[in-house]
Amino acid sequence: MIKLTLVPIFILLLTGSVLFGVVSAQDETSPTDTSPTETVLTINDALYKQALTAYNLSLEKYKKAHEEYLLRRSQYIKFKTLIAQQEASKATLEMLIARNDVVISYLNVLRERLFIAEGVSYETKNRLDIAINLEKDWYMKHTEVLPSAETLENLVSDSNEASARYRQTKVLAYEIFYYISDGKIEDFRIRLNNIMGELKVVKDTIKSEERPEYQLDSRKIKNIERALLESENRMARASELQLKAREEVYRLTKSQDGLSVYNSMLISLTGSQQFFREVSSFLKEVIREIKSSN
């Protein structure tokens, strides 16, 4: 007698808190700006939204197929008839195909989200894009062979094969999540570092100013130097934590599940982000001191 076991559900739901990482950023560009770079970003953003819509549609289709599978499975277990077996096989096949489609569409979402990520190098995006395409190819080929299954046992075996592959897919997803988060922090770091450098030049110019009407009193100079020193110290601490997370990328790619390593990396990135926010606060203090009158 054929025993139909429950096919595992391993769909990783798309949640903003995970996908967008630890950093949230608002678009500060003017709607009237039409530089080539922003035009490309707008196109890629549209592609990301299209991929997300397609993912949601495939997920709904999978949910319906899975509900039908559960119904036909329970009927087969209850009645054990040939017709019930055939209906269970048909529902199982349709559910497995729909499940592969969800994974493929999810990988498309990751790909488009990665392409619009700030602070991620071209080399990294290209490498991850190749990895995404390899995963998509695997699931598409797996879908092609599913109809050739002759028994329920064959379908269950095919399902287990996909479940085993998905462990690798999840690790890739976590790696992409990490690079999106790290990219936002890296972009923040570069901007803060540039502002700090400019403020140091302004500070040196003020200190060397000999015209009384453009001079700042000693108290303001000390406050500016203190704030810049605090900024440098926190910048160093933030960079250390960012580097600590980067050093775990290899361990992430070699892990069986990826979640525990990814969470450890997020702890480091969250700490780095907090230090960068403190840097921003100190730099704002410097600007206030410079702009205020004696």
DSSP track, 179-205: HHHHHHHHHHHHHHHHHHHHHHHHHHH
pLDDT digits (tens, 9 = 90+) for 98-112: 999 999 999 999 999
pLDDT digits (tens, 9 = 90+) for 21-63: 333 222 322 222 333 334 445 668 899 999 999 999 999 999 9
Name the pLDDT band for 213 (thresholds 50, 70, 90).
confident
Name the pLDDT band for 78 (thresholds 50, 70, 90).
very high
- The domain total for the chain is 2
pLDDT of residue 5: 32
H/E element holding 2?
none
82 within a domain of the structure (yes/no):
yes
19 within a domain of the structure (yes/no):
no
Closest alpha carbon to 48 in 1, 117, 97, 2: 117
169 within a domain of the structure (yes/no):
no
237 within a domain of the structure (yes/no):
yes
248 within a domain of the structure (yes/no):
yes
234 within a domain of the structure (yes/no):
yes
Which one is predicted more confidently, 161 or 36?
A: 161
CA distance 56 to 144: 23
Range of the domain at 117: 34-148
62 within a domain of the structure (yes/no):
yes
Please check whether residues 38 and 125 belong to one and the same domain: yes
Percent of the chain scoring above 70 in pLDDT: 85
Name the pLDDT band for 293 (thresholds 50, 70, 90).
low
Indicate if the alpha-carbon torsion angle 192, 196, 197, 201 is positive or negative: positive
Mean of pLDDT over the chain: 85
Q: Count Cβ atoms below 10 Å from residue 182 Cβ, excluding itself.
A: 26
pLDDT digits (tens, 9 = 90+) for 128-152: 999 999 999 999 999 999 999 999 8
pLDDT over 90 at 251, yes or no? yes
pLDDT over 90 at 228, yes or no? yes
pLDDT of residue 17: 28
Contact 158, 209 (CB under 8 A): no
CA distance 149 to 151: 6
